């Protein structure tokens, strides 16, 4: 007995010894690392979701508001070119009305290109928008100073939302003299009031030099690489036997050689430029031209706005953006200020002049910022400010209606047959396997099916919602069948036995008892399938629903596009205003999806039954 | 085999058992599953190198008590244990006690054989490997071999150690699980109805095995079979409706129970 | 408008037939419906089915084939004038013919087109008339025949139920038809393609630039054509992006599933699971937008900052975002698989003094391995077939590279680029998309079939 007890003590030491304790500590470290890995895996998903949603929301929110300009427009019949008949109002010359409406505000603008730039502050869709208002209210014709709203251009809108450039002001630090010469206006001061602007200009030059050097070294790299490629090609060409390939390679070689000449010239050019800039930077007292690559300096004197072209510490050559009264010669320190627009003019699509004009319109109280009604009431457009999601949303709705009408009855019927009636034989097994695999077929393959069968073989309409609906119906069918079968299976056999027991036929049993009980589950599955179909893009690209559709589709065979495809198309446009509208359209799409899924969740919660 | 005959056999071992020291003891153990109380104020001593059977009708709390002994109840979120359970000198529900170490010292064999879907060798080597008990491959081989020998399985599986443990018969699987448990070299071995899923022949083999293992381990066995309790254990504790009704030497419980309920149970009136 | 009118007529006729059948049944038994074998409603439905089903079937057949028939008729009427036109012009003519069919002012059309419109109108007018007559005859004949058949012992319920049953069977056949349609159309167009381009050149060629294959090249310069249809770079690009996606999704998805099933408190699970589901519910076009406009520029700028040249259409950006997209897919499948490992194995391991992570790594994961592997196969199949992310964020030119910082193209991108816009169904360029589609379909189908089988076997093991 004693040695057995001794044996036990020895065994106990295996798990409580110092070594075991140390091993245990190590094992626990492994444990916490593992747990931490799991937690960070969840964290990555959550962080990504937040990043994605916040990017979309931050970018999309501004697109929900828009700036409208309400100007007094001259809507006389003469101006519109009307000849008394109601019908011609549609073809009336609203372009001229809009053009003159904005020009009347700035009578001092004279040059052709300046005038065109001025009209550009308003959206090119302004005339369309104005025409619609007049058509809605023909009584407006005849008045000559009715104030009507038209959309501002996309860049003016971005500027007003503070997304074009940041700026800051410096109050005037001394008196100015206005010197009118033949070469234009010049502002002269006794103190170095423009020293700050000059310093910033030198700074910008230094940055320019730095970026030129970076560019040069980049070019040098690709030059070296091209030289290497040429060498490789020159060695390869003689060894090549296939004549076709040889021709191709020779053409390539030629291209590379011409590339080299271009590269070398460019590098030389950059070198010279850099040298010039360096010498200017080295001399801080020297006056500088303020080019488009630098920040813009605007001088405000009362109503006048002057843009500095060239500054020294005490002088500035300026261009008149808003004219200065001819009799002004001396300006006290508190009567003027400098405004600096930080983003260089060449880096933005909205010029200093346009900024000044827009500011002026705001100051006169013509600009109103409000809900972007255009976005919610119009179809696609090449102009971001005139583009809306309604067309795509209606297209989506039409497509989904067709999808629902086809896939719901078919899916439920198939599920009922497979779950309630089908004998277990090779044929039904085949159908089952087939449905499971169909659910995993890439959506684009359904697009190929639609293209080859519906469009090419049956010659149905391209871009039509009913074809899109058919393709999506085939795609969602497996989802609905699988969900419906699960719902039918959840109905306990006792219900069926009860119905069969009192002499109902199998079909009556299913229709009267099983199906109603399974319906909430079936509907939930259907909604989820519909949500999938709503977000689907690829198969619709195949059947031409990527068409540019301006009109809002009114029927199942009108050319249409759908929300996700609209997002896809807009994402391709480079304009920042389109980027915002893409995000806004994504928000609309996600809004629909959230609604549908919430509906599914409510349905599930409401009718969930535990047997 | 009659109950009396068995009792006579085990009675011979009883005096030696009485001399052992207390290996584990429960003092005022209460267990709650959420609102429901499953064990009421249980006091029980478990003596070293003895087999103690926990018997009682289903749902009486015997398995619950067993699972308290190596804190397997921790895996159930709603389960709460109060009172004190002591292993040697340590309160196993104390904050400083590590549950992994505890389970290494108090091993467990489950009702249904649950070999891992790995080879026979890997099943037995699992415990030693995770606890880092051996330094060399040879040492591990020796440990696996001796564990299988002690579980009486060696002769049947020595030629197919690399085949999956799930391919064995039920009785063999359960002995594999016992080999797996003793390879970790625990001090106490808990067995939760280890024979309930087995046929009579496999049961007999395992019962024999339990008696042999007593030499090296302290064994707590839950069983619903009174004959089994009588055959394998020196001490027996009877649970009813979550309460420990009576405990004592096996022969006394079966021949001369003090409590009326115990008598009713062993004579088949409740249960 | 005419369509709706037609539908209303159909519905009204159906109701009328139902009513007639029902009252006739009641009348035959002298107003006591209880002596009928089937309830009167079934007799009504019986008459309705006999009257309507043949007519409606005929109508749908006409709808399906009418476009084909009209173009065939018009082309036959125009004869050589039409046959001499190029394919593009032929298509334009048919299109114009259809869009002008309802208009009175044909001045915008050419002589031939106007002629086509005349033929078209004549044919459609005549066909519509014939169709209406035939449908009318079918309805009347069917209804009359059914009416005659009504008597007390008629098993109308059985007839109706049999009809409904055939509808149910037909509905479940749609899935088979869909698969058949996919397989046949892909194979048909691919065979056309392989008549122009050698099968082996396509599968093993290393140069892909179908945009340089001009119209007509298919017939004329076969060797050059073969040379621009070598799909290996496209496959390589697909594999590269898929590999990146799986490298992202597999560890993150698997660890998420493990954490959620074995570590997380019910509260964390209740929050994290819906978040995963949201991630799965976001349309792929949104991921594509995000990849193209946020992730890719981020990588390019980061690369620029540290002096590495990163393409703005890098495989890394597309692969990463695609990986994120399939995380919920991997995690929910793995979750199922991990949860189906019986609790007894966890208990067994814990009873030996294993920590949770040891139990997971040494018992659960090996036990769940087949299931996890097939989950990953499904994820790979999903990644290969994913379209929008790569269309928006991956490149168009087929580079053979394993450098994830360069731009590569994928099978789905090529299908979209080749097919969006106007297609000519006889150009090798268009047909190449179908050949790629066939490869895509076969590969994903294979992966799915194997994965679903393994999962099924795996589940059976623990049931």
Query: pLDDT per residue over C337-392, tens digit each?
Result: 998 899 899 999 999 989 999 999 999 999 999 999 999 999 999 999 999 999 99
In degrees and rounded to multiples of 5, residue C393 shows phi and psi of -115, -15
Set of chain B residues whose Cβ sits within 8 Å of the Cβ of C342? 114
Shortest Cα–Cα distance, B220 to chain C (Å): 14
Taking any CB pair shorter than 8 Å as contact, residues of chain C touching chain B are 266, 342, 344-355, 358, 362-363, 366-367
Last residue of a domain, one of B138, B169, B185: B185
**Any domain includes B255:** yes
- What pLDDT sits at residue A535? 93
Give yes or no for a contact between B172 and B153, defined as CB atoms under 8 angstroms apart: yes
Test A27 with B187 for CB contact under 8 angstroms.
Answer: no
**Any domain includes B200:** no
Set of chain A residues whose Cβ sits within 8 Å of the Cβ of C178? 438, 449, 474, 477
- Output the six-digit token pair for B89: 């000198």
Q: Is the pLDDT of residue A303 over 90?
A: no
Test B116 with C367 for CB contact under 8 angstroms.
Answer: yes
Set of chain C residues whose Cβ sits within 8 Å of the Cβ of A477? 174-175, 178
Q: Which helix (H) or strand (E) holds A601?
A: helix A576-607
Task: Check if A11 contacts B (Cβ < 8 Å).
Answer: yes
Give yes or no for a contact between B65 and B54, defined as CB atoms under 8 angstroms apart: yes
Task: Check if C164 contacts A (Cβ < 8 Å).
Answer: yes
Chain position carrying tokens 């020294």:
A312
Closest chain C residue to A582 measured between Cα atoms? C289
Averaged pLDDT of chain A: 87
Closest CA to A200 of A353, A347, A339, A352: A339
Test B117 with C367 for CB contact under 8 angstroms.
Answer: yes
Q: Let me know whether B148 and B219 are in one domain.
A: no
Averaged pLDDT of chain C: 86
Chain position carrying tokens 């099933």:
C261
Question: What is the percent of chain C with per-residue pLDDT over 90, rounded to a whole number?
Answer: 37
Shortest Cα–Cα distance, B103 to chain C (Å): 4
C-alpha B244/C-alpha B39 separation (Å) is 8
Three-state secondary-structure class, residue A609 = coil
Test A448 with C437 for CB contact under 8 angstroms.
Answer: yes
Mean pLDDT of C291-295: 92
- Output the six-digit token pair for A161: 């939302």
Q: Which helix (H) or strand (E) holds A244?
A: helix A243-281
Nearest to B116 among C266, C355, C363 (CB): C363
Question: What is the percent of chain A with per-residue pLDDT over 90, rounded to a whole number?
Answer: 30
Give yes or no for a contact between A548 and A378, defined as CB atoms under 8 angstroms apart: no
The Cβ of residue A232 has, within 10 Å, a number of other Cβ atoms equal to 12
Q: Is the pLDDT of residue C429 over 90?
A: no
**Any domain includes B19:** yes
Closest CA to A448 of C65, C183, C195, C175: C183
How confident is residue A141, by pLDDT bands cut at 50, 70 and 90? confident
**Any domain includes B206:** no
3-state DSSP of chain C: CHHHHHHHHHHHHHHHHHHHHHHHHHHHCCCCHHHCCCCHHHHHHHHHHHHHHHHHHHHHHHHHHHHHHHHHHHHHHHCHHHHCCCHHHHHHHHHHHHHHCCCCCCCCCCHHHHHHHHHHHHHHHHHHHHHHHHHHHHHHHHHHHHHHHCCCCCCHHHHHHHHHHHHHHHHHHHHHHHHHHHHHHHHHHHHHHHHHCCHHHHHHCCCECHHHCCCCHHHHCHHHHHHHECCHHHHHHHHHHHHHHHHHHHHHHHHHHHHHHHHCCHHHHHHHHHHHHHHHHCCHHHHHHHHHHHHHHHHHHHHHHCCCCCCCCEHHHHHHHHHHHHHHHHHHHHHHHHHCCCHHHHHHHHHCCCCHHHHHHHHHHHHHHHHHHHHHHHHHHHHHHCCHHHHHHCCCCCCCCCCCCCECCCHHHHHHHHHCCCCCCCCHHHHHHHHHHHHHHHHHHHHHHHHHHHHHHHHHHHC
Which CA distances in Å does C207 have to A246, A253, C119, C211?
14, 18, 48, 12
Mean pLDDT of C143-159: 85
DSSP summary character for residue A606: H
Three-state secondary-structure class, residue B216 = coil
Closest chain C residue to A548 measured between Cα atoms? C421
DSSP, residue by residue, A399-457: HHHHHHHHHHHHHHHHHHIIIII--SSHHHHHHHHHHHHHTTS-HHHHHHHIIIIIIII
| Strand residue runs (E) in B7-50 | 22-33, 36-47
Of residues A183 and A24, more confidence is placed in A24
Closest CA to C385 of A448, A536, A477, A443: A443
How confident is residue A280, by pLDDT bands cut at 50, 70 and 90? confident
Q: Let me know whether B97 and B168 are in one domain.
A: no
The Cβ of residue C133 has, within 10 Å, a number of other Cβ atoms equal to 10
**A-contacting residues in C 358-397 (Cβ below 8 Å):** 358, 360-361, 378, 381-382, 384-388, 391-392
Q: Is the pLDDT of residue C463 over 70?
A: no
Q: Is the pLDDT of residue C18 over 70?
A: yes
Domain ranges of chain C: 2-154, 227-462
Instruction: Identify the burial level of A196 via C-beta atoms within 10 angstroms of its C-beta, where 0-12 means exposed, 13-18 middle and 19 or more buried.
Output: middle
CATH number at residue B4: 3.40.50.300
Task: Check if A436 contacts C (Cβ < 8 Å).
Answer: yes
Strand partners, A299: A306, A338
Instruction: Identify the burial level of C319 via C-beta atoms within 10 angstroms of its C-beta, where 0-12 means exposed, 13-18 middle and 19 or more buried.
Output: buried
Test B126 with C346 for CB contact under 8 angstroms.
Answer: no
Q: Let me know whether B169 and B81 are in one domain.
A: no
Test B101 with A23 for CB contact under 8 angstroms.
Answer: no
Which CA distances in Å does C334 have to C254, C256, C365, C372, C440?
6, 9, 10, 6, 25
Averaged pLDDT of chain B: 87
Give yes or no for a contact between A511 and A566, defined as CB atoms under 8 angstroms apart: no
C-alpha C347/C-alpha B64 separation (Å) is 14
Give yes or no for a contact between B113 and B197, defined as CB atoms under 8 angstroms apart: yes
- What pLDDT sits at residue C424? 64
Test C348 with B177 for CB contact under 8 angstroms.
Answer: yes
Q: Give A318-359 pLDDT, tens digit per residue.
A: 888 888 888 888 888 888 888 988 888 888 888 888 898 998
Test C289 with A586 for CB contact under 8 angstroms.
Answer: yes
**Any domain includes B190:** no
| Binding partners of B (≥3 Cβ pairs within 8 A) | A, C
Test A535 with C355 for CB contact under 8 angstroms.
Answer: no
Q: Is the pLDDT of residue C219 over 50?
A: no
Shortest Cα–Cα distance, B117 to chain C (Å): 6
Q: Give A181-230 pLDDT, tens digit per residue.
A: 877 888 888 888 888 888 888 888 888 888 888 888 888 888 888 888 88
- What pLDDT sits at residue B1? 39
Largest Cα–Cα distance of chain A, in whole Å?
126
Q: Give C224-235 pLDDT, tens digit per residue.
A: 555 778 889 999
**A-contacting residues in C 435-454 (Cβ below 8 Å):** 437, 440-441, 444-445, 448-449, 452
- What pLDDT sits at residue A610? 59
Nearest to A52 among C224, C290, C387 (CB): C290
Shortest Cα–Cα distance, A267 to chain C (Å): 19
The Cβ of residue A507 has, within 10 Å, a number of other Cβ atoms equal to 18
Q: Taken in order C102, C103, C108, C112, is the CA torsion positive or negative?
A: positive
- What pLDDT sits at residue B16? 45
- What pLDDT sits at residue C218? 42
- What pLDDT sits at residue A74? 82
- What pLDDT sits at residue B17? 44
Mean pLDDT of A528-536: 93
State the total domains in chain B.
2
- What pLDDT sits at residue A4? 36
Give yes or no for a contact between B177 and B113, defined as CB atoms under 8 angstroms apart: yes
Give yes or no for a contact between C402 and C431, defined as CB atoms under 8 angstroms apart: no
Strands B106-109 and B188-192: parallel
Q: Is the pLDDT of residue A12 over 50?
A: no
Give yes or no for a contact between B126 and C362, defined as CB atoms under 8 angstroms apart: yes
The Cβ of residue A13 has, within 10 Å, a number of other Cβ atoms equal to 13
Closest CA to C427 of C283, C225, C238: C225
Q: Is the pLDDT of residue C118 over 60?
A: yes
C-alpha C389/C-alpha C315 separation (Å) is 11
- Output the six-digit token pair for B30: 């209460």
C-alpha B42/C-alpha B27 separation (Å) is 6
Chain position carrying tokens 């102009």:
A383
Set of chain A residues whose Cβ sits within 8 Å of the Cβ of C330? none
Which CA distances in Å does C164 have to A141, A323, A507, C7, C155?
64, 84, 9, 21, 15
Give yes or no for a contact between C428 and C225, defined as CB atoms under 8 angstroms apart: yes
DSSP summary character for residue A121: T
Between C196-210, C248-262, C281-295, the lowest mean confidence (pLDDT) is in: C196-210
Test B130 with A27 for CB contact under 8 angstroms.
Answer: yes
| Binding partners of C (≥3 Cβ pairs within 8 A) | A, B
In the CATH hierarchy, which fold is given to the domain comprising C227-462?
A: MetI-like fold (1.10.3720)
Test C412 with A444 for CB contact under 8 angstroms.
Answer: yes
Q: Is the pLDDT of residue C220 over 70?
A: no
How confident is residue C421, by pLDDT bands cut at 50, 70 and 90? low
Q: Let me know whether B32 and B47 are in one domain.
A: yes
Spatial neighbors of A553 by CB under 8 A, at least 6 apart, are: A391, A394, A395, A398, A465, A559, A560
Q: Let me know whether B46 and B137 are in one domain.
A: no
How confident is residue C440, by pLDDT bands cut at 50, 70 and 90? very high
Q: Is the pLDDT of residue A98 over 90?
A: no
Give yes or no for a contact between B220 and B188, defined as CB atoms under 8 angstroms apart: yes
Test A11 with B185 for CB contact under 8 angstroms.
Answer: yes
Q: Which of A275-289, A316-330, A363-377, C24-38 has the highest mean pLDDT?
A: A363-377
**B-contacting residues in A 496-555 (Cβ below 8 Å):** none
Chain position carrying tokens 């996700």:
A564
Q: Is the pLDDT of residue B4 over 80?
A: no
Mean pLDDT of A6-31: 73
C-alpha A49/C-alpha A53 separation (Å) is 6
How confident is residue C236, by pLDDT bands cut at 50, 70 and 90? very high
Q: Is the pLDDT of residue A525 over 60?
A: yes
Q: Which residues constitute the domain of residue B173?
A: 111-185
Nearest to B187 among A4, A12, A28 (CB): A12
Last residue of a domain, one of B164, B185, B206: B185
C-alpha C38/C-alpha A507 separation (Å) is 14
Length of chain A: 611
Instruction: Identify the burial level of B263 via C-beta atoms within 10 angstroms of its C-beta, where 0-12 means exposed, 13-18 middle and 19 or more buried.
Output: middle
Q: Give B86-141 pLDDT, tens digit per residue.
A: 998 888 988 888 888 899 999 999 998 999 988 999 999 999 999 888 889 999 99
| Phi-psi sector, B243: left (phi>0), alpha (psi -120 to 50), beta | beta
Set of chain B residues whose Cβ sits within 8 Å of the Cβ of A4? 49, 215-216
Mean pLDDT of C322-341: 92
Mean pLDDT of C424-442: 85
Set of chain A residues whose Cβ sits within 8 Å of the Cβ of C259? 35, 38-39, 41-42
- What pLDDT sits at residue A8? 41
Q: Let me know whether B2 and B98 are in one domain.
A: yes
């Amino acid at each position: 007995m004693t040695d057995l007890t001794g044996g036990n003590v020895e065994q106990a030491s295996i798990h409580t010894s110092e070594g075991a304790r140390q091993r245990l500590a190590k094992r626990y470290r492994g444990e916490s690392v593992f747990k931490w890995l799991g937690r960070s895996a969840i964290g990555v998903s959550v962080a990504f979701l937040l990043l994605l949603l916040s990017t979309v929301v931050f970018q999309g929110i501004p697109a929900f508001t828009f700036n409208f300009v309400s100007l007094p427009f001259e809507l006389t019949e003469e101006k519109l070119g009307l000849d008394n008949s109601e019908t011609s109002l549609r073809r009336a010359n609203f372009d001229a009305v809009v053009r003159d409406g904005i020009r009347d505000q700035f009578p001092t603008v004279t040059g052709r290109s300046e005038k065109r730039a001025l009209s550009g502050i308003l959206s090119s869709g302004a005339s369309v928008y104005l025409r619609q208002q007049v058509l809605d209210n023909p009584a407006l014709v005849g008045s000559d100073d009715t104030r009507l709203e038209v959309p501002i251009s996309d860049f003016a809108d971005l500027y007003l939302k503070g997304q074009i450039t940041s700026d800051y002001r410096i109050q005037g630090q001394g008196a100015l003299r206005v010197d009118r010469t033949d070469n234009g206006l010049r502002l002269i001061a006794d103190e170095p009031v423009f020293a700050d602007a000059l310093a910033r200009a030198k700074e910008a030059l230094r940055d320019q030099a730095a970026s030129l050097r970076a560019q040069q070294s980049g070019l040098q790299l690709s030059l070296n690489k091209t030289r290497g490629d040429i060498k490789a090609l020159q060695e390869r060409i003689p060894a090549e036997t296939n004549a076709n390939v040889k021709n191709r390679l020779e053409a390539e070689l030629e291209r590379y050689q011409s590339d080299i000449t271009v590269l070398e010239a460019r590098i030389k050019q950059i070198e010279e430029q850099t040298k010039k800039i360096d010498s200017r930077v080295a001399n801080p007292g020297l006056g500088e031209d303020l080019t488009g690559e630098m920040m813009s300096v605007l001088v405000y004197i009362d109503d006048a706005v002057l843009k500095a072209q060239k500054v020294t510490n005490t002088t500035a050559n300026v261009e008149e953006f808003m004219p200065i009264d001819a009799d002004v010669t001396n300006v006290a320190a508190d009567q003027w200020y400098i405004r600096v627009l930080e983003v260089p003019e060449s880096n933005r699509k909205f010029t200093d002049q346009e900024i000044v004009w827009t500011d002026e319109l705001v100051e006169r109280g013509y600009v109103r910022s409000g809900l972007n009604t255009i976005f919610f009431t119009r179809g696609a457009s090449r102009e971001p400010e005139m583009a809306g999601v309604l067309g795509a949303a209606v297209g989506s709705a039409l497509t989904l209606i067709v999808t629902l009408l086809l896939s719901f009855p078919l899916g439920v019927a198939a599920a009922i047959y497979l779950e309630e009636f089908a004998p277990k034989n090779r044929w039904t097994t085949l159908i089952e396997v087939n449905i499971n695999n169909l659910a995993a077929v890439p959506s684009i393959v359904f697009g190929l099916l639609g293209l080859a069968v519906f469009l090419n073989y049956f010659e149905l309409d391209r871009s039509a919602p009913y074809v899109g609906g058919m393709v999506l119906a085939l795609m969602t069918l497996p989802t609905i069948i699988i969900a419906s079968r699960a719902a039918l299976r959840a109905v306990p056999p006792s219900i069926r036995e009860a119905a069969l027991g009192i002499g109902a036929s199998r079909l009556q049993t299913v229709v009267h008892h099983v199906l109603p009980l399974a319906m909430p589950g079936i509907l939930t599955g259907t909604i989820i399938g519909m949500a999938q179909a709503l977000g689907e893009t690829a198969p619709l690209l195949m059947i031409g629903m990527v068409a540019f559709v301006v009109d809002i589709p009114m029927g199942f065979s009108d050319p249409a596009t759908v929300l996700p495809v609209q997002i896809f198309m807009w994402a391709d446009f480079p304009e920042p205003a389109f980027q915002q509208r893409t995000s806004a359209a994504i928000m609309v799409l996600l809004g629909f999806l959230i609604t549908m899924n919430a509906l599914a969740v409510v349905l599930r919660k409401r009718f969930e039954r535990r047997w | 085999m009659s109950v009396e005959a068995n009792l006579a056999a085990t009675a011979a071992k009883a005096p030696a058992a009485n001399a052992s020291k207390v290996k584990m003891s429960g003092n005022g153990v209460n267990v709650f599953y959420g609102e429901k109380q499953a064990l009421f104020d249980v006091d029980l001593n478990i003596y070293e190198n003895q087999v103690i059977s926990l018997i009682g009708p289903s749902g009486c709390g015997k398995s619950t008590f067993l699972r308290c002994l190596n804190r397997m109840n921790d895996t159930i979120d709603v389960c709460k244990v109060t009172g004190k359970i002591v292993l040697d000198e340590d309160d196993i529900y104390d904050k400083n006690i590590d549950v992994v170490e505890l389970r290494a010292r108090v091993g467990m064999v489950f009702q249904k054989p649950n070999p891992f879907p790995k080879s026979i060798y890997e099943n037995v080597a699992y415990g030693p490997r995770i606890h880092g008990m051996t330094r060399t491959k040879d040492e591990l081989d020796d440990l696996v071999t001796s564990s299988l020998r002690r579980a009486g399985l060696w002769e049947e599986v020595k030629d197919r150690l690399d085949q999956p443990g799930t391919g064995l018969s039920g009785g063999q699987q359960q002995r594999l699980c016992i080999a797996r448990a003793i390879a970790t070299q625990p001090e106490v071995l808990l067995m939760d109805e280890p024979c309930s899923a087995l046929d009579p022949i496999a049961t007999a083999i395992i019962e024999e095995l339990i008696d042999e293992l007593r030499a090296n381990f302290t064994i707590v066995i839950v069983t619903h079979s009174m004959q089994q309790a009588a055959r394998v254990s020196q001490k027996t504790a009877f649970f009813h409706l979550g309460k420990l009704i009576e405990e004592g030497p096996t022969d006394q419980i079966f021949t001369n129970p003090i409590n009326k309920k115990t008598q009713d149970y062993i004579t088949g009136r409740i249960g | 408008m005419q369509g709706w009118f037609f539908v209303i007529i159909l519905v009204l006729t159906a109701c009328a037939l139902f009513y007639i059948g029902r009252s006739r049944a009641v009348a035959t038994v002298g107003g006591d419906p209880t002596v009928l074998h089937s309830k009167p409603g079934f007799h009504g439905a019986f008459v309705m089915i006999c009257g309507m089903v043949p007519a409606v079937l005929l109508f749908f057949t006409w709808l399906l084939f009418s476009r084909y028939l009209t173009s065939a008729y018009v082309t036959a009427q125009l004869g050589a004038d039409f046959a001499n036109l190029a394919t593009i012009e032929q298509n334009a003519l048919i299109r114009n013919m259809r869009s002008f069919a309802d208009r009175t002012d044909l001045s915008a059309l050419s002589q031939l087109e106007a002629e086509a419109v005349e033929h078209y109108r004549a044919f459609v007018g005549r066909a519509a008339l014939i169709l209406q007559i035939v449908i009318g005859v079918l309805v009347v004949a069917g209804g009359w025949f059914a009416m005659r058949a009504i008597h007390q012992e008629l098993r109308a319920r059985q007839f109706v139920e049999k009809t409904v049953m055939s509808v149910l069977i037909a509905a479940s056949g749609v899935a088979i038809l869909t698969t058949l349609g996919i397989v046949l159309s892909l194979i048909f167009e691919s065979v056309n393609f392989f008549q122009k381009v050698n099968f082996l050149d396509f599968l093993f060629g290393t140069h892909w630039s179908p945009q340089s294959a001009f119209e007509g090249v298919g017939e004329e310069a076969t060797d050059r054509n073969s040379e621009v249809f070598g799909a290996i770079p496209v496959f390589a690009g697909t594999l590269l992006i898929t590999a990146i996606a799986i490298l992202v999704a597999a560890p993150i998805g698997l660890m998420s599933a493990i954490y959620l099933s074995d570590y997380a408190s019910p509260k964390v699970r209740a929050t994290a699971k819906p978040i995963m589901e949201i991630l799965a519910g976001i349309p792929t076009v949104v991921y594509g937008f995000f990849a193209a406009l946020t992730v890719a520029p981020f990588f390019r700028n980061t690369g620029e900052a540290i002096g590495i040249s990163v393409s703005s259409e890098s495989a890394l950006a597309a692969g990463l975002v695609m990986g994120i997209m399939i995380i919920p897919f991997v995690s929910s499948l793995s979750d199922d698989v991990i949860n189906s490992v019986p609790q007894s194995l966890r208990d067994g391991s814990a009873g030996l003094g294993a920590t949770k992570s040891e139990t997971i790594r040494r018992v659960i994961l090996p036990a769940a391995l087949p299931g996890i592997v097939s989950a990953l196969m499904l994820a790979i199949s999903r990644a290969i077939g994913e379209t929008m992310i790569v269309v928006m964020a991956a490149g168009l030119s087929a580079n053979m590279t394993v450098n994830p910082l360069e731009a590569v193209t994928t099978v789905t991108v090529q299908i979209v680029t080749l097919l969006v816009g106007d297609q000519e169904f006889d150009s090798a360029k268009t047909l190449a998309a179908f050949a790629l589609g066939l490869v895509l379909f076969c590969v994903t189908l294979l992966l799915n079939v194997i994965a679903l089988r393994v999962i099924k076997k795996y589940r059976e093991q623990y049931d």
